[in-house]
Amino acid sequence: MKRLFAVIFFVLAVFTISGAQTQARLELDNSSSLTIFGSTNISKFKLVLPGEKFPGKLFNFTYQQNQERISLSQNRLALEVKNFTSTNRIALNGFLKLIKSQTYPVLDIQLNNLEIISPVSGSNSINGKAFLNITITGVTKQYQIPFSSISENGMRYADGKMRISIRDFGLIPPVEMMGMVKTSEWIEINLHIVARISL
């Protein structure tokens, strides 16, 4: 199965080689996570997919860089929505109901490419944008997610954040308790990746 989490931030270590295809290996750490932040008119909530629930830990990739753009051979990830957790059980159940988890048990992400912002000489950090497609309830939308990455003690740490509307996927924000509790259409998706990369 093609996978994406490692791919999204694979740029973290690899933009010294240009033009030719290159093989590399990435090992994800369990401290990685994907978090969805949402809110209602009376409270906020978050849903977390912890690193130990990511589908696989070791990834082998072929990538190719042309100037500031990187393309990768493995670029899809199917996330099982049942693996999300939350301290707010009502919010979690509402989320699963909203995205029709019985009919659509996976959230699909496909990476198209990465663009790198020219780094500062001597810096161990990288910034850029990931261009990706997200599919929820059978509806696919294109997004850009800015990300940053830094290297410390042999590990790469990368973070990306984007704000989207659930209406993009034809979903209607739920209203509960006879209209007293209204869920916002806006959610924020945060990706936190911790990994070891070898070329």
* pLDDT per residue as tens digits for the range 40-62: 888 899 999 998 888 766 666 66
The confidence score (pLDDT) of residue 180 equals: 76
The confidence score (pLDDT) of residue 118 equals: 62
Beta carbons of 28 and 57 less than 8 angstroms apart: yes
Question: Token pair for residue 167?
Answer: 């209406």
Ranges under pLDDT 70 in the chain: 1-22, 24, 56-76, 118-122, 179, 199
Question: Token pair for residue 99?
Answer: 């995205």
Beta carbons of 174 and 183 less than 8 angstroms apart: yes
The confidence score (pLDDT) of residue 167 equals: 94
Task: For domain 5-198, give its CATH number from 1.10.220.10, 2.40.128.110, 2.60.40.10, 3.40.50.720.
Answer: 2.40.128.110
The confidence score (pLDDT) of residue 68 equals: 62
User: How far is residue 71's CA from residue 87's CA, in Å, rounded to a whole number?
Assistant: 38
The confidence score (pLDDT) of residue 17 equals: 41
The confidence score (pLDDT) of residue 58 equals: 67
The confidence score (pLDDT) of residue 63 equals: 60
User: How far is residue 2's CA from residue 73's CA, in Å, rounded to a whole number?
Assistant: 9
CB-CB neighbours of 199 under 10 Å: 11
User: How far is residue 121's CA from residue 182's CA, in Å, rounded to a whole number?
Assistant: 49
The confidence score (pLDDT) of residue 55 equals: 74
